[in-house]
């Protein structure tokens, strides 16, 4: 061990400190005390990386924050604070790696959830971030890679922000299919122009015929109408099936999106962090059943399956 002050090479152990029992050293020349320099992948968090990886894995497998707390013994505040740190790291990873992708077929859709209170129960003085929230998500139909995502309201402003982010991550001409949301049309015209083959899939819904009350049972899709918007989209590939299946994976892996449960998000900040974490986990760590590899491997932006610990230790 070399002294960090005088660079003398003769030191001795000088006890430990802290809950993690970190070894301390003392220089025999200048008598300075110091510890061995070490990386802190989780920033200010004292939790060990292995324990943090266990917490993240459980969160990604559909467990709620309270359930993870009971299972691991970690405090709920620690889990939520860790979620914010890891979510920010995963967002940086996504921004750094998911660039310059050349897809052939892209599908985009929105997934509903809510923050704190459902829209119908909001009061006039409630914060604006409460109520309905959506994940805007675009995936490559062939590699299943999430190309872009956004956690926001379902309006034209969000549509422009989402399409702009998508345009910065993809290259070349491709076919894109969205649902019937009108905000997509001017946004795609603005950021892609005539450079894509764009179509929308309009769905017609009807009432259910089951015994459940209408407020409980989901509406049934009675018909779909493909509508070419620009370019020359192939009718065979005008579909949103793949992105809708990806939406189901989100509801399966994130407790915050499970309907009729108590795991919903209480703040928009933590919802965004959970989505950031999931998108990186989905692209880099989770092996897709039909591909036998991760979407990132299929897309050629990595050459191996990432572990959750590797995800936590990643640095730009």
What is the residue extent of each domain of the chain? Answer: 1-38, 49-313
Task: Count other C-beta atoms under 10 Å from residue 215's C-beta.
Answer: 5
Strand partners, 124: none
Backbone phi and psi for residue 137, each to the nearest 5 degrees, phi listed first = -140, 135
Residue with tokens 């920033």: 43
**With 60 as the cut, is the pLDDT of residue 214 above it?**
no
pTM: 0.86
Show the CA angle centred on residue 86, arms to residues 80 and 92, nearest 5°: 140
Strand partners, 265: 115
**271: exposed, middle or buried (C-beta count within 10 Å: 0-12, 13-18, 19+)?**
buried
Could you tell me which CATH class the domain 49-313 is placed in?
alpha beta
pLDDT band at 210 (very low <50, low <70, confident <90, very high): low
Q: What is the DSSP letter of 170?
A: B
Q: The tokens of 260 are what?
A: 């009729």
Nearest to 130 by CA among 255, 262, 271: 271
List, for residues 114-155, the tens digit of each pLDDT value. Answer: 999 999 999 999 999 999 999 999 999 999 999 999 999 999
């Amino acid at each position: 061990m070399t002294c960090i002050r005088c660079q003398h090479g003769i030191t001795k152990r000088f006890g430990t400190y802290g809950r993690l029992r970190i070894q301390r050293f003392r220089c025999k020349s200048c008598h300075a005390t110091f510890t061995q320099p070490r990386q802190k992948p989780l920033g200010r968090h004292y939790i060990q990386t292995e324990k943090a990886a266990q917490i993240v894995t459980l969160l990604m497998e559909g467990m709620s924050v309270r359930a993870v707390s009971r299972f691991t013994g970690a405090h709920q505040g620690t889990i939520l604070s860790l979620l914010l740190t890891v979510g920010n790291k995963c967002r940086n990873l996504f921004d750094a790696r998911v660039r310059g992708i050349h897809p052939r077929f892209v599908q985009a859709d929105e997934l509903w959830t809510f923050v704190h209170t459902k829209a119908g129960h909001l009061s006039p003085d409630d914060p604006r971030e409460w109520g309905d929230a959506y994940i805007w998500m675009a995936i490559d139909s062939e590699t299943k890679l999430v190309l872009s995502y956004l956690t926001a309201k379902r309006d034209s402003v969000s549509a422009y922000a989402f399409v702009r982010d998508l345009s910065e991550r993809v290259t070349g001409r491709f076919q894109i299919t969205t649902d019937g949301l009108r905000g997509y049309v001017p946004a795609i015209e603005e950021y892609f122009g005539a450079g894509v083959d764009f179509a929308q899939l309009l769905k017609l819904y009807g009432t259910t015929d089951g015994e459940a009350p209408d407020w409980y049972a989901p509406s049934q899709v009675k018909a779909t109408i493909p509508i070419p918007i620009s370019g020359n989209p192939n009718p065979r590939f005008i579909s949103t099936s793949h992105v809708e299946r990806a939406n189901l994976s989100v509801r399966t892996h994130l407790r915050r999106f499970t309907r009729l449960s108590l795991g919903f998000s209480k703040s928009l900040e933590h919802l965004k962090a959970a989505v950031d974490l999931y998108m990186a986990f989905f692209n880099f760590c989770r092996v897709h059943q039909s591909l036998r590899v991760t979407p990132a491997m299929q897309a050629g932006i990595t050459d191996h399956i990432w572990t959750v610990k590797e995800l936590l230790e990643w640095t730009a």
